A and B are shown apart, each in its own frame.
Chain A
Amino acid sequence: MRIFSNVRLLQLIDSALLLMLLSVIAMLLWFSLSNLSVRAQQNQQEATEAMQKAYETVREQIKLEELLDKQRKAFDALDDEFFRFARNPNSDRSNLPLLHNLSDNLKEKTNQLLAAWPEKTDPQLKEQLEEFTGLMTGMIDELESLSPGHWQQLARDAHDTARNAYDLVASLATVDDQVGFEVMNAIQQSIQNNTANTFQLSSQLDIIKYQALLSTIFIIAGLLASRFYFSSHFKQLIQTAQNAQLLAEEAVKTKTRFLATMSHEIRTPMNGVIGMTRLLMNTPMSKKQSEFVESIHLSGEHLLTVINDVLDFSKIEAGKLDLKHEPVELRACIEDVFNLLSSKALEKDLELAYAVAPSIPLFIEGDVARLRQVLTNLIGNAIKFTEQGEISVLVTQVAQQDQNYELKFEIRDTGYGIPADRLQSIFESFSQADNPLTQKGEGTGLGLSISQRLVEMMKGRIWVESQLGVGSHFYFTIKTCQAEGKLKPFLYPNIPEIIGKRILIVENNAANQQALQDFCSGWGAITQVCASSQEAIQLLESGSTYDMGLVDSRLPKATALDFGRYVRSYYTLQEFPLILIAPPDDPHPKQVVSELYNLYLTKPITRSRLFDSLMTVLGERNLVATQSEHQQLKLGERLPLSILLAEDNPINQIVASSILDEMAYKAEIAENGRQALDALRVKPFDVVFMDMQMPELDGLTATRLIRAELAAEHQPIIIAMTANAMESDKQACLAAGMNDYISKPILPEAIEAALERWCSTPLKKKNKELPDAALSH
């Protein structure tokens, strides 16, 4: 910022300088040239005046000369006539009129000459001329009065007068010459003036030229200097900026590296701290001490999630997080998140439901782990901030062009809601920190921030709408495209077994209702939806019949069992199978449910579970279903078995049951040999996976008891699962009456192979082969 303003300042100074110099030049030129032009105008005027004057003078002189000439001629004519008159003895008065005429002529010419008399000439000359003319004209009058004898004398006088007048005129000519000279002088003066002015002008122009040259040189020099100064300065500035940028980049990198390394380095000892704290918790301590240790443990776990979040966040910030582009099965992704969070939702008795618009393809392109992370975060938050009600996820399509989709995810909860003043900042890093609602020690405040960045990386945006006391709706969009993925059996549309089946859905939760309807109709079923059992009973009373009923266990007024009783009063389990959709901790007594309903479907509803349930119920109904078409199906779909898993280690329970789940088997779990035996007493199982060492009753003993106690037709296939990988152990298993033996870690292939080996041929026959060994013990 400082550098920027400095550059601006320099630019301003530079421009101002340039502007100043240019204006100085313009001013100088303007004044010099306007002065010059005034001068030139003056000169021009003076020259014109001089020429005009010279012209006037010349014209006057020419006129004067003409008049002088005429006057002299008139004088000469009169003088000659006088002379002739005087000399001629025959002269008489009859000649006088001619003389009169000539005299008048002379008078006229003289008057003309006098009128045009040059002002500057000697006034005496003028007087003399007047005098002589008077004398000459007077002589005519004298002549008349004189006798002829005196005429000669008079003629001589006249001649003298004429001569004098002639001289006078001659002198007049000099006057004339003088005037000419004056004119010449005037012209010369004018020329000289002109020359001087021109010289002055040219010298002034020269001065201007030099001034202009000088100013230009000055400007060029100034500009060059300023350019040099600024360019060197700019270079310096740019250098500074680049250095600053490099430093900043380096700092960001260092920060990120530091965060990543630190997070990693902290995690290892943190695990140690948490682990050791747990160890400590198992040692004898006072109540106070255990409280402290519990607190340490909770804080440690919290710290670990914070570190994980920070690591994620710093990865994103550093641009080190690359999204994968792989086929994502959107619905399964949501189901996974539900599975992960269902225990938390269960603690608060919250409903989890989702619905994906049917127009959205099964597989979209994206990064499943990151999408799951965003969903886990938003749904996890929803669960965290909701005390009762439901969390639903709706996915709709905002826009579609060919294979490209823009999807909108909506996560609704019925929690406290978010105050309006926090809505703006909720996606900012660590924004949860100052929220009193999150002071319970959960969350880092980075979750939403991470989600926002992930969503932005998926070319979408995230926002929230909330109403205090009503709940919050978090939305986010992503841009994606259709992808091709490997279809799981239940992902195929139009399943032959399901096509055309009429399914009655009794479910009051709108999202679940939508999901059930979408799934069932996707497989080709004809669905009828009711929001309450009364509505369903009305439909049945009106004569509608259905192949199957899906009933929510938490119908309004808790009427799920009533509805079951109503149905059973008309139909058997086989005629109209019912599936109860219930949370794992369903309050209804199991005994009653099993009389009314064919099957439990555990919430949250997922396609795979729903599919399994439908197929199980339909399989029970249509035992003749063709098996050959099921080759591509999972083992559990072409070889349905009831499986009991006897295992005390919770990890191994999950591992084994999820492997079986993947094969589409639902395993019931017994915690030890005793429970396994009890379960087998209640109902027969096809297969028992038996752990060797279990509390209360170990695997070998339990097997012996089973083999000894149960009727031959109820004997299960028993497969040992143990970590003791020695041949003697295997022998012990077989000796105890087990059919087979698989070693831990349990691999899907091993389970599949064992099941195929022992169960693919007609079951009962197999069962009858084995008990000899068992019975002998």
Chain B
Amino acid sequence: MQLLATDTLKQLPAAILPRLIKLFMTTTPDLITAIQQAAVKNDLVVMAEAAHKLKGSCLSLGAEQMAAICKELQEKGEANDNTGIHEHIATLSSLYPQTLEAMQTL
């Protein structure tokens, strides 16, 4: 699985890419925070929702690894299973800057 599936990005009109990346840059931290806060409160449904939302952004921009973790978190949240979610969130947080970097160097 790629950190960033460039094929997906190439499907998009080149003109909007900078705007999308900027949006990704501004919306993702909020979502990660939401996931984190929900996880701390053990509010797994909310966490699943936030993870789902982030998953949508990540999929659209080809951020496959982040999307996979979001999916995992969403599924765990929906199944009310909080095992290992903090590790997942930590990985997600560390993947974010790398993914953004990959987008910007595209």
Contacts and interface: CB of A to CB of B under 8 A. Distances in A.
B56 A652 contact: yes
Contacts of B56: 649, 651-652, 691, 722-723, 744
A65 interface: no
Among A276, A308, A649, A744, residue most surrounded by chain B Cβ atoms (within 10 Å): A649
A652 B29 contact: no
Contacts of A272: 94, 97
B25 interface: yes
Given A279-B32, A282-B30, A340-B19, A267 B60 contact: no
B27 A650 contact: yes
A662 B29 CA distance: 30
Contacts of B57: 649, 651-652
B29 A279 contact: yes
B101 A271 contact: yes
Interface stretch (A431-439, A539-547, A745-753): A745-753
A651 B100 contact: no
Given A275-B100, A649-B57, A693-B53, A654 B23 contact: yes
A748 B61 contact: no
B30 A651 contact: no
Nearest to A333: B15
Contact of B59 (A269, A336, A650, A723): A723
Interface in A257-287: 264, 267-269, 271-272, 274-279, 281-283
A557 to B, nearest CB: 35
A40 interface: no
A282 B33 contact: yes
A237 to B, nearest CB: 46
A21 to B, nearest CB: 69
B84 interface: no
Contacts of B11: 745, 747-748
A655 interface: yes
B104 A267 contact: yes
A658 interface: yes
Nearest to B96: A275
A294 interface: no
Nearest to A308: B104
A651 B101 contact: no
B86 to A, nearest CB: 15
Contact of B29 (A267, A282, A308): A282
Interface residues on A, range: 35 or more
A279 B89 CA distance: 12
Contacts of B30: 278, 282
B60 A268 contact: no
Contacts of B100: 271, 275
B98 interface: yes
A654 B17 CA distance: 10
B99 to A, nearest CB: 9
A658 B60 contact: no
B97 A651 contact: no
A697 B68 CA distance: 25
B67 interface: yes
Contacts of A650: 23, 27
Contact of B71 (A264, A652, A654, A723): A723
B15 A336 contact: yes
A654 B98 CA distance: 23
Interface in B60-103: 60-62, 67, 71, 93-94, 96-98, 100-101
Given A268-B101, A269-B97, A723 B52 contact: yes
Contacts of B27: 649-651
A252 to B, nearest CB: 24
A278 to B, nearest CB: 3
A774 interface: no
B68 to A, nearest CB: 11
Nearest to A648: B53
Given A275-B28, A723-B55, A723-B56, A339 B15 contact: yes
Given A272-B97, A723-B71, A651 B15 contact: no
A76 interface: no
Contacts of B8: 745
A744 B18 contact: no
Contacts of B52: 693, 723
A680 interface: no
A651 B33 contact: no
A369 to B, nearest CB: 9
A271 B97 contact: yes
A274 B15 contact: no
Contact of B62 (A269, A336, A745): A745
Given A283-B33, A651-B61, A745-B59, A268 B98 contact: yes
Contacts of A655: 12, 16, 20, 60-61
B66 to A, nearest CB: 12
Contacts of B71: 723
Given A649-B57, A650-B23, A652-B56, A267 B15 contact: no
A495 interface: no
B29 A658 contact: no
A95 to B, nearest CB: 162
A661 interface: yes
Given A267-B104, A659-B13, A745-B8, A654 B19 contact: yes
Contacts of B53: 648-649, 693
B101 A267 contact: yes
B56 to A, nearest CB: 5
B41 to A, nearest CB: 13
Contacts of B16: 339, 654-655, 658
Contacts of B62: 745
B87 to A, nearest CB: 17
Among A275, A281, A693, A745, residue most surrounded by chain B Cβ atoms (within 10 Å): A745
B98 A274 contact: no
A584 B52 CA distance: 30
Contacts of A275: 25, 28-29, 32, 93, 96-97, 100
A153 B19 CA distance: 174
Nearest to B54: A649
A279 B29 CA distance: 5
B93 to A, nearest CB: 7
Given A275-B97, A651-B56, 15 more contacts: A268-B98, A272-B97, A275-B25, A275-B29, A277-B29, A648-B53, A651-B60, A655-B60, A658-B13, A659-B13, A662-B13, A693-B52, A723-B55, A723-B71, A748-B11
Interface of A: 264, 267-269, 271-272, 274-279, 281-283, 308, 336, 339-340, 648-652, 654-655, 658-659, 661-662, 691, 693, 722-723, 744-748
Interface of B: 8, 11-16, 18-20, 23-30, 32-34, 36-37, 49, 52-53, 55-57, 59-62, 67, 71, 93-94, 96-98, 100-101, 104-105
21 contacts: A264-B105, A268-B98, A269-B97, A271-B97, A271-B100, A276-B29, A276-B93, A282-B37, A336-B14, A651-B24, A651-B61, A652-B60, A654-B23, A658-B12, A659-B13, A691-B56, A693-B49, A693-B53, A723-B52, A745-B61, A745-B62
Interchain residue pairs A-B with the least CB separation, the first 8: A278-B29, A271-B97, A282-B33, A272-B97, A336-B15, A744-B59, A651-B57, A658-B16
